[in-house]
A and B are shown apart, each in its own frame.
Chain A
Amino acid sequence: MAKGLPKSFKKSLWVFHCNSGSCNGCDIEIIAALCPRYDVERFGIKLVGTPRHADALLVTGPVTRQQAERVKLVNEQMPDPKVVIAIGNCGNTGDVFYESYNLVGPIQDVLPVDIHVIGCPPRPENIIHAVAKAWTKLETLEGK
């Protein structure tokens, strides 16, 4: 667990997953993190179907032109306080697609990103670690 996480949390952390043009690699690793081997649901981390219920947003993939607006919309629909986690190299830097004409750019050009997870795709452990970090941030934000 991340450093600085209090012993008792105010609430469980619900995440929303949004694909902004990824290759699926990161997405399956997110699902893998939810499945029995890693089973993050035991910590109360749950994937929800709508951004309006979510505390954290997981964005995967470089942002393609068509998806940029949608990603922004999803982010707007999330209630505050929230954290945005960019998962995967291509969401953080563009990765192999960096020069493509159809990309608006890395996620941080579209949204304020709080946590970057590097890897192509990152291992489920890394994703879980990022979510735990997000939790720390949320708890501090809410404590204020």
Chain B
Amino acid sequence: MADRIGDPTVVADNVHLTYRVHGASSGKGSATSAFSRLVTRKKAAGVTEVHAVRGVSFVARRGEAIGLIGRNGSGKSTLLRCIAGLLPPTGGKIYTDGQPSLLGVNAAMMNDLTGERNIVLGCLAMGMTKQQVAEHYDEIAAFSGMDNYNGKDFTRLPMRTYSSGMAARLRFSIAAAKSHDVLMIDEALATGDRDFQLRSEARIRELRKEAGTVFLVSHGMKSIRDTCERVIWLDAGKIKMDGPTEEVVAAYEKGV
């Protein structure tokens, strides 16, 4: 593998993101009102702008696990969605190596399907071959713990019957089955219990050894300390501090 520890995987160059919020347009209604909205092209009253990310620049490298901390609404999730390519930055550029994967808070994927189907479909969607799926299936089911949860095989039940922590476990297990160049975890592990947090932290360390980059958003400073050696502190859309975990977390905890 030519990819080496230390090569950049994500380069953010003065990234800005502004949300444009269109009043109270609910997008529901009768055919006639929908039609008149289309014809008149009228935007529902009042456009408000939310400047969520304001000029963020950093370089992330292979083998790094970077913690992202900051108050609610400081722009952490928004920044990750920009990196994942789900939101186009309104200013600046983001360069990535390969396709970053984002694990968000809402952990469900295909709610009406069983855990088993979610595993198979999730792996196929990530680009695995049928054979690779067969190889990884038991590992994923076992890692998530869904194959024997309180003595019941939950892989046979639809995902809508899972608790939020169980859904998060399954989704992390699916995503982690593949090695990623860039994996971003946005509070997806927060609902997991102690046992699963330990297991997922071990998996994150493995991913780093495979020369990937991991971003972790969490309000739990313990899991940040346990997994990351570098932390970026976002405040009101700007980087307030970027450095070794101990320094940044200490400053953050003093400031809060």
A, B: real partners: no
Which A residues fall within an 8 A CB radius of B?
Answer: none
Which B residues fall within an 8 A CB radius of A?
Answer: none
